[in-house]
Structure 1
Amino acid sequence: MSPGQQRPLFGWPDQRTLDSWRRGDCAHAPRDVLIRISYVLGIYTALHTIFPNELQADGWMMCPSSAPLFAGQSAIDPVAEEGVDGMAAVRKYLDARLN
């Protein structure tokens, strides 16, 4: 995922801040950003648990889905359109698939 795609996921930080977070300096990140990071990590972990193939797990977010939640769109679409609420919906969907 490019930095341009990452910025909206984390609440539109400037590039320097995003680079700092990417290096692991999240100590001063706002609560909203920490929640977003938590969702991203949970989605990543769920995908790599569901799909044994790393390429499939890494690509799933960008592929169109027939699941009712996505209605033919990819999972990244509600994330990009709805922010934290979209992340929560995707995470809930994946958690249900794990159970």
Structure 2
Amino acid sequence: MQIAAQIPEPAKLTAVALKAYARVADAWSLAQKEAAGLADMSESTWKRARKPGFAGELTKDQLLRLSAVIGIYKALELYFSAPLSQSWMTRPNTGPLFGGARPIDVAIDGGLPQILAVRTYLDALRGGA
């Protein structure tokens, strides 16, 4: 007997992604503007998206962003202990990707490619590479 993999319907996927992302934004104490910018949405859309029952759809780019940010959160939780794991994204960083800027600002300004670069950077740190 063959069991087909269940692919979540878009609305359910969106709801789960937004709920997880909202928890990350809260854990990092992101301002509304920062959370919205990182997700590539307007502040008003982010305010609506945070509420249960949000009926909007996310683009593939937005879903990838949220997934990558959740991966960044997970890597930080594994690599650092609190409170550094929760403040790392909002603290100035002299690492090669950041040049003294805060990782959150670099990620917002650089969009999805930079968000993925931050995730890769953290995965390399975590893996010892």
TM > 0.5:
yes
TM-score of the superposition, structure 1-length normalised?
0.83
4+ long deviations beyond 2 Å: 19-28
Residue type of the alignment partner of 1:67: G
How many Å separate the matches in 1 of 2:125 and 2:94?
14
CA contact (8 A) 1:61 1:74 kept: yes
Residue type of the alignment partner of 2:62: V
User: Is 2:72 the partner of 1:65?
Assistant: no
The aligned counterpart of 1:38 is 67
Which of the two has higher C-alpha Rg?
A: 2
CA contact (8 A) 1:78 1:86 kept: yes
How many Å separate the matches in 2 of 1:26 and 1:33?
15
How many Å separate the matches in 2 of 1:45 and 1:7?
20
CA contact (8 A) 1:63 1:74 kept: yes
- CA, structure 1 residues 26+66, in 2 after alignment: closer, same or farther (shift >3 Å)? farther
How many residues align? The count is: 97
Could you list the per-position Cα deviations for residues 27-84 of structure 1 after superposition, in whole angstroms to 9, with x for gaps in the alignment? 721111101110110111111111122x211111121222122122221232121111
The aligned counterpart of 1:84 is 112
Quick one: which of 34, 41, 58 aligns to 1:5?
34
Q: How high is the sequence identity, in percent, across the aligned residues?
A: 32
CA contact (8 A) 2:32 2:43 kept: no
Residue type of the alignment partner of 1:97: L
